[in-house]
Structure 1
């Protein structure tokens, strides 16, 4: 199948599209990445989206407008990707949508909300769309996040030693492979780093480009200790979190009455991400960690993570043939492929669900939708080529 995976993560900055040709041979899923493109949200839409996120509050009219506008933006990106990658012949689109709320209380996920109405995508492209992947896992008692666990397990199957996949987006998440797999959000990835930059620049900047500010700063031990006292970090996986907890208001409360230099604040929050990632992975006795996501473009952060991991080797997914920027959109392309073939896309050990589930909802093309007949067993491994 020719599949487009669409993704916008917890940094809320752009929509990523991956074109993939997916097939199954024996027990192996073969994924060939045809192309990758990324398109930023229009500035006005991004501003409205960020204003609607916790701790902000919105009315239902704003939710409706955002659902429509985000769906239209996803549709435009999907149409562009289809034309560029497949000449208008795509078979399926898998859209993660834009997470605006992940409802977790006392360690239990009760619901999740992704906006980006898939009908706009199906209407614009004439292609069936799989969307709303997370809700089914939550209904089955799981966390609904991170939902790339099965993809990571297939992708890293057979590697020597014990490996983990790490994605550093707004929130950082990890999948630990092996006989006793696990997947969980480690805590903030770029979320608090971005918030720190926004605070120290008065909103003029929102990203620590190439980790330059953190590199100039000094880590404040007292602030880091206070940040590390957050109860989330001591919770056992499976667990998930989001910007409902780790947001600008959270950081502003911690920083209150702390007269620190701007670069020291950014350096300390960057160290928090590195510490919480390494501390979460330490109990698993890993031999290698394979990182992807926007955080891999921050050399200061990667150096801190590498230092904290000690003897565990840190690599990027690019070294294994999977472009870091394409990782999550590729994963959802694979999940969409599994869904339309009637195969489960979750792993209970990773999400904590009572059982594996066929994920998502299907929006058909205008002429309807015929399910493919799966003539293969669930794959046991996955290869990626470009």
Structure 2
């Protein structure tokens, strides 16, 4: 039996899911194929994803492909309760309520695993981690991972020869990380900050900690809105790239002294550490667009602040020593806590990869090793072509002469 807030919210959820579907045309094409061919017939899929209108469209595609689907939330604050209700109405097992306690959050994860899924789908490797710790009693044929953070955890398991089953790093597909991470995170993170605070970005000193695909997207959007952008990065190549793009590349200590707004985008722990709070500007705003709720050392800040006051729906003020520090969304993902996540159009490609990865695992699992895989290049390129054409773009074909030239070593300077 599902665990949701209110079944009566299903009508509102239907409207939201239908709205998102209008911008998810690649997934719609896959849905048509899955509905006819049933490539997942009889397969049980356990998913731990953000319960959004976009995710709902993916779950329905999997169901239409013949799978029995069970879904829980990958973040306690990212669930859309109306969407959860609609999915239950459509026959999908859902365990997700916005704002649940940490204990209930893990109860929901275990409820999904109680269905003994054949394939799991993660956004942060929570299900996979349980399958390697408390739930080793369950055997799955494979798993898919949506995020950079989750892929890092999977590769750590692989490196130590601890991975119990094959896993597909959906995040590594070009049609995922080059678009979802950059354009999706960039837009939705700034959207979350603005919705939560109602601040003007133009003219602010905005710090972005982390300059991977997600950090690049956040920096580009902040820059485009008129901010003076500062980057903190540990990788020298990425740091140099940021410098040559015109950003100010600084240490975290230097950033803390000048920033009006700091957004973490690393997937790592305590990148805003306790020693930075004392040098921050009075009134600084902190937000996390990376993963989980560990990027800002909120435990230290909470324990050492003179007072903590909720000043807006998603903003808390910490009176720390002689200053005010504002934190958005309890340090959880700002784009999902204070906003509605990535636009459906970009999630279209990410979830097309997820759907096709489920099919690929089901068809190939007997020959796969217990390692981390990337979807075949031809799958990536087919998704890209479909999206390009649906957006009105055209693709130039190589002539026979050009193909011959590119495949030969005999031609040189004439």
Q: What range is the shorter-chain TM-score in?
A: 0.3 to 0.5
Higher strand proportion (structure 1 or 2): 1
Larger RCO (alpha carbons 8 Å, 6+ apart):
1
**TM-score, length-normalised on structure 1?**
0.35
Higher helix proportion (structure 1 or 2): 2
Over alpha carbons, which structure has the higher Rg? 2
**TM-score, length-normalised on structure 2?**
0.33
